[in-house]
Chains A and B, each alone.
Chain A
Amino acid sequence: MIIESDKPQTREELFIALYESTFPKVATFIRKMNGSFDEAKDIFQDALIIYYEKKAEPDFSVKVDDKAYLMGICKHLWYKHHHANTLKQSLEMTAELKLTTEEEPKISESILQFIEVSGKKCLDLLKAFYYDKLSMKDLAGKFGFAGEHSATVQKYKCLEKVRTAIQHKSLTKEDFYV
């Protein structure tokens, strides 16, 4: 994992650095394409999410540097949103981003809010492991468990707790997805 720590402080610094280094270039590109500031903002923020998720993958490596990669994602998103000539984009990038941006079902906000209220602690623990991809050791440290073993036990307890809660809350698929 390249993002060394999941502490918001550190993540915040990372995002500020990326904004300062890359947003002006993205804004220049979007402006050239007759886009607005708001469009530049939306595209850049979506790109940061994709970038973050990709970087968190354990076997992920990029051949170009971070700024160029982020810029590439922004261009890809722009062309995608505008149905413009996507052939300009490298096939590799297009194939790679498909996984992240296009396969995801939208979870209904009401289910998410229900769990955020009833099981926030568990959700935070599960997010740290499955989304931020923290190691068991870091997870234990962050959440104050005695060691990796108790963190693992707690993680699965939480998984079961949230699973049971959403199963009881929404008995049909329609309640779950938007």
Chain B
Amino acid sequence: MCEAQYLENYLTGTLSPEDSLVMDARVLLDMGLNDKIIWQQRTYELVKAYGRKQLKMEIEKVHNQLFSEKRFSSFRQKIKNIFN
């Protein structure tokens, strides 16, 4: 098991109770390890932010399609009527 995987298991609580306790102690003593854990958590946050950004772009693209392409003209008209 590589380090990133081991840290992930630690963070998600899927290590054995014994291994988890050993890690608790190591994290307290080893600042480098402590940093790695913090940065790994930030990596997950970053991946989520990236995922959302990509998804937003996909949704915006769909929106633009719906409000420009001919095949959606009756949908557009329906929305237009609501705001008129």
How distant is A161 from chain B, measured CB to nearest CB, in Å? 9
The answer to the question of B66 belonging to the interface, with a C-beta cut-off of 8 Å to chain A, is: yes
Q: How far is B47's CA from A111's CA once the two chains are assembled, in angstroms? A: 11
B2 in contact with A157 (CB, 8 Å)? yes
B50 in contact with A131 (CB, 8 Å)? yes
How distant is B41 from chain A, measured CB to nearest CB, in Å? 9
Q: How far is B53's CA from A115's CA once the two chains are assembled, in angstroms? A: 13
The answer to the question of A58 belonging to the interface, with a C-beta cut-off of 8 Å to chain B, is: no
B40 in contact with A163 (CB, 8 Å)? yes
The answer to the question of B21 belonging to the interface, with a C-beta cut-off of 8 Å to chain A, is: no
A19 in contact with B63 (CB, 8 Å)? yes
Q: How far is B55's CA from A107's CA once the two chains are assembled, in angstroms? A: 16
The answer to the question of A176 belonging to the interface, with a C-beta cut-off of 8 Å to chain B, is: yes
The B interface, classified by DSSP as helix, strand, loop or mixed, is helix
0/1 per residue, B23-49, Cβ < 8 Å to A? Answer: 000000000000110011011111111
Q: How far is B46's CA from A162's CA once the two chains are assembled, in angstroms? A: 9
B42 in contact with A176 (CB, 8 Å)? yes
B58 in contact with A24 (CB, 8 Å)? no
Looking at A44-52, A59-67, A79-87, the stretch in contact with chain B turns out to be: A44-52
B42 in contact with A19 (CB, 8 Å)? no
A112 in contact with B50 (CB, 8 Å)? yes
Interface size class of B (residues with CB under 8 A): 35 or more
Residues on A with beta carbons closer than 8 Å to the beta carbon of B56: 45, 49
**A159-B4 contact, Cβ under 8 Å, with A8-B58, A12-B62, A37-B83:** yes
How distant is B60 from chain A, measured CB to nearest CB, in Å? 7
Q: How far is B49's CA from A15's CA once the two chains are assembled, in angstroms? A: 20
Residues on A with beta carbons closer than 8 Å to the beta carbon of B54: 127
0/1 per residue, A1-27, Cβ < 8 Å to B? Answer: 000000010011001100110011001
Q: Can you report 13 A-B residue pairs in the complex whose CB atoms are below 8 A from each other?
A: A20-B66, A24-B82, A28-B82, A31-B83, A112-B46, A112-B53, A127-B51, A127-B54, A130-B51, A131-B55, A157-B4, A163-B36, A163-B43
| Chain A to chain B: the 7 pairs with minimum beta-carbon distance, closest first | A131-B51, A107-B49, A160-B4, A159-B4, A15-B62, A167-B39, A156-B4
